[in-house]
Every structure is written in C-alpha cells, then in structure tokens.
Structure 1
C-alpha cells in the first residue's frame, strides 16, 4: 500500500472515530473544539467526516441486507481487534457508529454501490433508471438508488421526488425515508421529506407505508389508492394522519414548474416559495402572516407573486437582485387573493 493510501486510510479511520464519539453523546466541549479544529485543518478531513455520516445513515437503511449481514462477523472481529489496540473498546456496542467504523475501514463506501442523484435550489431533474422506472427530483433534493437481486432500494435523504415505477413483482420498489419504507410494485407516487415530516401521495396504483414498532417488527402504517396519501413525523411514523384524501393537482404542481396555494397562510406560502429560489422573499412583521392565499404561480416568477401580494393584500414591496421584502400595507389588507 502506498504512503498516500495509508494516509487516506488514516484520515478515514480518524473521521469514523470522531463520528463514533459524537454519536455516542459523550463528547466534552473541549473535544468538540478539537473536532472542529481537525475538520478545518484539511479539506480531506471534512470530506471523510461527511462520507462517514452518509455511511451511518446507510447502516439503518441496509441493516437487513443479506449480503452485508453475511460478512458482518468478520467485519466486527476486525473492528474489535483494531479498537482493542487503541484502548477504545468502550465505544463498541455503545453507539450505532460501531458498524460504521468497521465498514468504513474494511468495506469502504464503494460496497454499497449506491448511485446518488440530486438537485440544487430551484433545479429539477428527471432520471430514467435502469429497470425502466423514472425518478423526478424537485428542488434541493437527494435520492440514492441501489438495485439488488431481490429489491430495488431507493433512499430519499432530503427534499421531494416523484416515482413512476416499472412493474416487477419479483423485485419490490422500496423508497426508504429515515426508517420508514414506501413500497410499490407498479405505480406512481410522490414522497416529500421536509422539516422532519414525511408526506406520501399516490397518483396511480397501490402504495403501502411501513415502519418498525418498538419491538423491531415491521408494521404497516397505511395502504393507499390513487388520490390518497399519508403524513407522519419522520422519527415517529406511528404519529401519522392515517389515509387521507389528497389534492393531486396541488401535490404534482411542481412537476410543471408551478406552485399551488390553496387557502394557505401567507407566511407558509412564502416559505414554500423560498424553497425554489436563492432570491428569498422576506415577510416583514406579523401583520400579514395569517392572511390566506389561494392561486397557482409559476416557479421562479418572483415578480408575479410580489405583484399579486400588492394587489390582493395592499402589501408594500421592496426588492433588489438578492431579496424581496414584503411589508404590511399602510391601511388594512384585503381579505384574500381571489382564485
């Protein structure tokens, strides 16, 4: 092994070590400062640390993977031997990053064979997958794709995506979202992950959402038909809405570069608009926050939305190339934007 390879391996091991400490919740303020110094000392340090964070997420997604589990005994043995030499065995079994440390050193990131697709703020992207399925990503989104013999596994890490699934009963299509799974065979559905909340909407076919209960048993949360959906907290899927009717025109508006507001609070509507642009719209004060807005607007047409706010609420608009300020009117605002 070359000196460069040894150095890269050392950085990767150190990054995994730091993440293990951080996830264990036992880091002191002094150790946190040392971590930050280490991250800033070399760009490779931060890159390795971020890669380890991604690996940590994948250990949850892939914990039932038969190929991975077949190699775990040897992986754990190697990890334990290395940590005993360093006197850090006390962390083994105490934090979820134990498996991460082993995989980062023994298998490396390439083991997962996950291909990532992502978009920046304001961007959208259509991806044709190898099985004939189609993936469409909304603004600021990231999806991983990993195909196995028995399953097509996808991982929504952030944002929103629409899935049009090619039928293949022998290889279920499963979208993993922070511990829950959205399952389909041949169908079309939308999944959004925002502020630790998950929203699933079905446009075609049948989709089921599952998660594990406190005993680690898989439990079905909802089974939905077209025009139905479910909403739940990402970290507590059991806290869900149950199957509810969905306005599909609103849910899928982003696919035609539009934003659909249906009696939304103005503050919430502006927050939704801001997801699509770096030129942020800022609502100044609380006077207009609870006003209700309905209508369909083109994504990226900030001037059009600002004009509508002027006309409907009497809002005062102050704008430049970087932001748009929305101020309360000098007199009382109109009641609502006409549909």
Structure 2
C-alpha cells in the first residue's frame, strides 16, 4: 500500500470513529476500542485531531465523544478559517464531514452576523431585608440589586428566595439559574442553597443552575466553596465549615453536584464563560439532551418535549445563541439519532430515529 493510500485509509477510519462516537450508540466497549485505535500510531492521533478540530473551531457545536481526547492529542486551538482550510486539504475528511458541516455552517454564519440577545434585563430591583421571593417569566432576564450592594441576575423561568439579616446573607435557588456578583464582606459570608448543595463565598462572581437533580456551580472570578453538609441550616447559622466535605473552585472551574451523592471532581470550563446566558448564549459540556432541552424551554414559549429517557440521556458538548431555537434543533438532529416532530399547536417532540 502506498503512503498516500495509507494516509487516505487512516483519514477514513478517523471519520468513521468520529461518526460512531457521536451516534448515540457508543458504549464502553466501543470507547475502549477507539482509544486502542487512537493510541495505535501518531498518524491516527493526527487524523482524528484534524477531523474533530473543525467542529470545535466553529465554536457553535462540538459533540462530546465520551472520552478525554484532548488529554492525549495535545490539541492547540486554531482559528475557524485555518480549520476549514485544513479540512479542504483532506478530501476524505471533507466528504465524510460534509452533511454535518453544512448544517453547522449555516448556524455559525448566523452567529457571526450576530443574533440579538434574548431579553434585555430590566432595571435593577432592590430586594428588601428579610425573606422575599423573586422570579422571572419564560424568556425574561432580570437584574436584582440586593441591600448589601450585590447583584443577582435571574435567568428565564427562575425563582429565588432571599433572606438577609445583620449576621448572614442567604439565597435559595428554587428553580432555574442565577448569576451572582457578590460584594465582599468577610464578616458576613454569602450563601446560596439549592437542593442539598450549599455554596459559600465572601465576594466573587459565580453562576448556579438547578437542573433536575443536579446543581451546577461555575466561577467567573474569585473563590467559591461548594459543600454537601448534612445540616445546611446549622452550617449557615454557625459558619463552621471545617468538617464539611467541600470543593474549592477558582475562576474558570465548575462542579456538577448530584442530589444525595458526594461531590464530584472539579472540571475546567472549556465552553463559554460562566453567565454567558446573560448575553444570549448557552454552553454545555458533556450535558444530557434532557438538561439542554429543559433550558431551551425556559427561553422560549415553544414547548420542546423529549419522547423517551433514551433520547434524554444522549449527551453533547454544544454552544449556541438562544435567539433561534429551530436552528439548534436542526443541529441536534444532525448529530444525534433523533427526529423532530412538530404538532399543529406548535409543540416539538424529539424521538429516537428508527434503526434501519
């Protein structure tokens, strides 16, 4: 076999692996086989990196393979144009990626041209001392000025309860998502509670999202403690966190805390910065379709349903503007084995594509 033929075969194998890993059919055995192939030679790594990098460079959608490819590819970020030229120079990769790339390019062009933001925040609203409940409607983003000078930006279809006293600052995220810009006050720590997770800061900028049975915490600036105390009220009353299991997050880090489960490891944020949704952009890293669709439903009156848990469990790393949900659904259908069904009333349902 000539060198050119060998290179072409490796590129075709890379394309096939990419397609399989993002088809929704990949299990542990397939991922293990992929890692064995990838480690087989340096040429394998280069070919797969060139193929996958194009989708990452588009900065709109990058489906997650379920394996830590970056760790051993030594991937270096490039510009969108460089990525596209690299693809053109490799005709085998270009042919394999064409159908998915066309869909992504349409959406990417819309993004570059600049979609408008979801909803402009309202004027800041002063939250009074004592206990008060604040909320937003679907598609509404609201800035709330607290009595200590801190500002909470409440995402669409979200709800918080605030309780301020001379000794503590405490907010409970009951639904949705909120971004916190906290004024420093070492004598009065700032606490955010959601489900069985407690967040403690002195002064910083961070985001908290409640998604089904998971609380996502990500940090834009400063230091944030994420805890799982057995007695949340007691910890807030005493301020004693020394013996409580915790993760300490720095800027650019996140953690996803599942209910009644120990805190997982901290992860680096690879997609949009925490709180990017305030400017009309949502970003996910290895998130389930159930989580992604639930968030989309908070931004639009058009209801999107998931037919089965099997569809909801499909995972993606994806980033998009919130203005045009129809384009997002088109991309989801392109990278996952699902179909889009629309009812006369405007509702949308995602169903598993028939296996043929």
SS in 2 for 1:249: coil
1:239: how far off?
1.3
1:140 alignment counterpart: 157
Q: Is the 8 A contact 2:228 2:262 kept in 1?
A: no
SS in 2 for 1:239: coil
Structure 2 distance, partners of 1:228, 1:264, is: 16
Change (3 A) 1:146 1:326: closer
SS in 1 for 2:262: strand
1:75 alignment counterpart: none
Match of 1:202 among 219, 244, 258: 219
1:289: how far off?
6.2
1:221 alignment counterpart: 246
1:124: how far off?
1.8
- How does 1:1-339 map onto structure 2 within 5 Å? 113-213=130-230, 218=241, 219-234=244-259, 236=260, 239-247=262-270, 249=272, 251-262=274-285, 264=287, 266=289, 268-284=291-307, 293-309=316-332, 315=339, 317-326=341-350
SS in 1 for 2:299: coil
Q: How many residues align?
A: 220
CA RMSD of aligned residues (A): 3.5
- Larger RCO: Structure 1 or Structure 2 (Cα < 8 Å, ≥ 6 residues apart)? 2
List runs of 5+ in structure 1 lacking aligned partners: 1-111, 333-339
Structure 1 distance, partners of 2:311, 2:203, is: 44
Structure 2 distance, partners of 1:328, 1:181, is: 37
Q: TM-score, normalised by structure 2?
A: 0.52
Structure 1 distance, partners of 2:227, 2:292, is: 30
Structure 2 distance, partners of 1:287, 1:137, is: 31
Q: TM-score, normalised by structure 1?
A: 0.54
Q: Is the 8 A contact 1:310 1:317 kept in 2?
A: no
Summarize deviations over 1:219-255 as a string: whole Å, max 9, x none: 1411111112222234x3x611033323361643322
SS in 1 for 2:176: strand
Structure 1 distance, partners of 2:305, 2:228, is: 38
Structure 1 distance, partners of 2:252, 2:246, is: 17
Q: Is the 8 A contact 2:195 2:215 kept in 1?
A: no
SS in 2 for 1:176: strand
2:31 alignment counterpart: none
1:149: how far off?
1.4
List runs of 5+ in structure 2 lacking aligned partners: 1-128, 236-240
Q: Is the 8 A contact 2:163 2:169 kept in 1?
A: yes
1:86 alignment counterpart: none
